Chain A
Amino acid sequence: AMVGQDAMAVELKASHQFPGGKGDVRDEMVQIIAREVAAANVGLDIKVYPGASLVKANEQWQAMLKGQIDITAFPLDYASGRHPEFGATLMPGLVKSHEHAARLNGSPFMQEIKKVIEDAGVIVLADAWLAGAFGSKEKCILEPADVQGLKARSAGATFAEMWAGAGASIVSIPSNEVYNALQTGVANATDTSTGSFVSFRLYEQLSCVTAPGDNALWFMYEPVLMSKRSFERLTKPQQEALMKASKKSEEYFASESKKLDDKMIEAFEKNNVKVVTMSDKQAAAWREVAKKTSYKTFSEKVKNGGKLIDMALSVE
């Protein structure tokens, strides 16, 4: 009873775009934080709005800054229109594997990114890097030459540039029409996260998929974020409980992230889709293409862009 009324009054809104209550890893990350905080009994209640049921996916960053929501599991690149530096968190070839991603989190590169996040008034509660894959209806995509003449739909601007640099033509289609587009032939290749490859049932349309393996090109930073203003409004015990819960959520993600890739491989193999991975040499060839396309544009258009990429590439 001593917790008092002011503590009871704190209710936070957490929003994300992923399906709720169906075991999606990113939904689970947010749910874990909500559950743990509730169990800590510090008078903090987190309401989760999954599936973009409150704020549209792309608007979440802005919504958090304005105080419309407090917490979000958010693909950081979505805010690259506001902070071009974030483009580096969906940049081909910067992250090679989940182990590499873990090392990257503490690197100067990520410190630089997190500084931009913090300067914008946001703090990172839990880190999360999701791996992605390339898929094609034609032949397997291993070398840049393999995409010559393909019509590719890409999840992000930086990848689109690399595809185009390797000789593919780019089609821009909303994510919910990708299945259709692949089926009718509007597009015949695509890249996205391994989770989306499964949830959009792309194994029904593709003939070959390039899984992340040890030489992945596709990684995206999708951390759980919180508005600094909302965080500072909490009491000390509430802040501590929240940070502790976030730690748990991050650990959960670390143990699950690779399983997402395995799930994709399993689903695709079950549907007789060929699953391949890139060799060191093949991935390096792609990085060469990226150097001339996405890296180059990024260095030109973003202040410090070249430095950011070099910092990321230097992480072993």
Chain B
Amino acid sequence: MEAIFFAVVNRGKANAVLHKAQEYGARGGTIFLGEGTVHSRLLEQIGLDESHKEILMIPASRQLCRKLHDMVCREFMFTKRNRGIAFTIPFRRRTLQESGVKPESPAGGAAPAYSCIITIVDKERGKDCLKAAWAAGARGGTLVHGRGAGVPTEFYYPLVIEPQKDIIIIIAPREKAAPIKERIASELELEKPGKGILFILPVLQTSGLFENEPGDQGGVAS
């Protein structure tokens, strides 16, 4: 396993994509739920700025990832707008055998054109993060709800409070990644401890992204 293939699709469609991918040789996948966002002031005003998404992750070899990109473009029309987007991130599978093995050459070939910016902040601040990213030129984003690892408390019931977190996934062209990062970091005060974290992952290949025209409504757009 040399990479993970990600696909963001409308809710209910992830299973279909996964089954198709299995026909192409994928072994399995993990699905989680998220919310897509549209970058439109009007829609935001009337509250229409959200849609339900599913995010599918399939661990696969680089070669299979390329095949899967072809597959989603052909079978699920990712070449058209709003059908979903897909991207590959070079996660490497760790097993005990290769403990300590020094990883080799970088992504290989040309430098990737896109970056995946992931920000993790307290719930309720996810929207602010997206706004900051849009102001810096990002074009969409997917919101995922998660929880932080627990912190014990001393209320009447000794709860282990698991703070709710928003995870924001933004795919942006590589040259835009730095300004977006700066903007998010300054507007959400990420330089202060405990305010949240941000990290950038390299992206090998994308499908379904539309760079030039405005008004696209995909889950993650750039």
A and B together in one complex: no
Which residues in B have some Cβ–Cβ distance to A below 8 Å? none
Which residues of A does B touch, CB under 8 Å?
none
